[in-house]
Amino acid sequence: MNKDIATPARTKEILEKHGFSFKKSLGQNFLIDPNILRNIVSHADLTDRTGVIEVGPGIGALTEHLARSAKKVVAFEIDQRLLPVLEDTLSPYNNVEIINQDVLEADLNGIVEEQFSGFDDIVVVANLPYYVTTPIIMKFLLGKVPIRAMVIMMQKEVADRITASPSTKAYGSLSIAVQYYMDAEVSMIVPKTVFIPQPNVESAVLKLTKKAEPPVEVIDEDFLFKVARGSFVQRRKTLLNNLQSSLQNGKAKKEQILQAFERIGMDPGRRGETLSIEEFGKLANALYADFKES
């Protein structure tokens, strides 16, 4: 067994050897606790048939644990200064492919087809850069990338928002967008002390598991998320007020909005945070004919 990358001494040695300095703009926080990494990997339920997509491998601390458990790991690293570091640290593993590209600009379905041809089990496992956590998650979900699950480290506050239930402070359009596609649960809370440099916020590992089918059938998914976002523009306002200001010509079409509420027997005086995903689906379907983008 190769010596773990993720110990404080070995991490320091690797960084010094390659003269690497952290870039704040890339949100680089490297894990230095092998137990945490083993725990993350255990939540992903990897087998020797699993393909893993990683985002932001850093110096390869999590990557090597993934490589030991999965059939193949494809990791996106945007910082080209890390390419020689990864070539060095991951040299014992021949089942790792590093792609020097911003994952947000990548053709994920094309890469999956090319890199994981013949795989029927694909999982995303990553210690995500905190400033782009939400766009990365949504790129995988909206792009219908064929993954079974995502096990991802993120800011605890974002994990709380993703897993929130209706009528709680953290519940909002992000909770709805993710929970439409995935079952979401916080697997573990991670202390600041296991990173270098230490982040200013608490972290959590979130497990997202693909639902067999969404909880509600909608005419148009994009429109559902638009209605959800619009309903939370000002949390303290009623659905009627928020939708009038967020939907195109909403003020002029107040009557149509009220009729949509009446058709589904919903009180327009409710607030967005009280609606379940199923209710948002019904509301979006009722509004669709009058507000779909022409």
CATH 1.10.8.100 matches 221-291: yes
Both structure tokens of 256: 């149509």
Q: Binding site for S-adenosyl-L-methionine: what residues are annotated?
A: 29, 31, 56, 77, 102, 127
Distance CA 13, CA 3 (A): 12
Q: List the one residue out of 221, 234, 236, 237 whose CA is nearest residue 280.
A: 221
Query: Structurally, what CATH architecture does the domain formed by 8-210 represent?
Result: 3-Layer(aba) Sandwich (3.40)
Q: What is the pLDDT of residue 1?
A: 56
Angle subtended at Cα 223 by Cα 222 and Cα 229, rounded to the nearest 5 degrees: 90
pLDDT, tens digit, 9 for 90 and up, residues 141-176 = 999 999 999 999 999 999 999 999 999 999 999 999
Question: What residues of the chain score a pLDDT lower than 70?
Answer: 1-2, 24-27, 294
Asked if domains 8-210 and 221-291 share a fold, the reply is: no
Cβ atoms within 10 Å of 268's Cβ, excluding its own: 17
Q: What is the pLDDT of residue 119?
A: 97
Helix (H) or strand (E) holding 170: none
* Domain ranges across the chain: 8-210, 221-291
- Do residues 231 and 280 lie in contact, with contact meaning Cβ atoms separated by under 8 Å? yes
Confidence at residue 138, expressed as pLDDT on a 0 to 100 scale: 96
What CA–CA distance (Å, rounded) separates 180 from 277?
7
Residues contributing to the annotated binding site: 29, 31, 56, 77, 102, 127
pLDDT of residue 294: 47
